[in-house]
Amino acid sequence: MASSSGSDVEAGFAKLQGEDFEYYMQTYSIILGRNSKKSTVDVDLSSLGGGMNISRHHARIFYDFQRRRFALQVLGKNGCFVEGVLHLPGTPPVKLDSQDLLQIGDKEFYFLLPVRSILGGPAPVPRGRNPSGGGGAYYSPALPPSGRGRGRSDDDVEDGGVVGKKVRRDDYGVGGASGSGGRSHSG
């Protein structure tokens, strides 16, 4: 989805950012898991190297309108990690904050919220989180070389208060291949 200026800017309600993929959430609810002959999912983690322990419908990320926040509902029998805490099916949905580290199967990725509203106004700033600044549209973790955690490394650069990897600049504060919204992209 290109902006009116013709750039490769993507937009969505939220973004999933892994070491080798990104997915722009353009609906209020998405299913993560693995595709099969009988059904498809929005984010096929098995095709992204998520391992064999991913259920067809492993998790759902959705916007909870009553609580005015995003949440993750665990559907798969092996559960999901959110910030290192295992959540199993049958438990209440887990509140998601921007920059939360999620793990489903062997696949780790971040949940990111926009720094500003996709409608043009500023987005609310979550407590304790630093926006990527410099025009970036999503909060972004400073990914260390291993892709784990939120620490900084010698490869991190500062650009007017922005801390991030030295990569091709895009409007999301985290480098990597740009893609079309509503699809996952591997790089």
Distances (CA, A) of 158 to 14, 41, 115, 153, 161: 24, 37, 18, 11, 6
Q: Is there a contact between 89 and 76 (Cβ–Cβ < 8 Å)?
A: yes
DSSP 54-80: --SEEEEEEEETTTTEEEEEE-STT-E
The pLDDT of residue 115 is 82
Pick the CATH number of 14-186 from 1.10.3720.10, 2.60.200.20, 2.60.120.10, 3.40.1160.10: 2.60.200.20
Query: Distance from CA of residue 150 to its chain's centroid?
Result: 14
Choose among 72, 106, 102: nearest CA to 89: 72
Distances (CA, A) of 71 to 29, 60, 96, 146: 10, 8, 5, 27
pLDDT in tens, 45-99: 988 887 789 999 999 999 999 999 999 999 999 999 999 999 999 999 999 999 9
- Return the domain boundaries, the chain: 14-186
pLDDT at 173 over 50: no
Cα within 13 Å of Cα(130), Cβ side: 11
With the C-alpha atoms ordered 125, 59, 43, 186, is the resulting torsion angle positive or negative? positive
Which amino acid appears at position 174 of this protein?
A: V
pLDDT at 21 over 70: yes
pLDDT at 16 over 60: yes
Mean pLDDT of 123-133: 41
pLDDT confidence bin for 12, thresholds 50/70/90: confident
Query: Regarding predicted confidence, which is higher, 157 or 44?
Result: 44
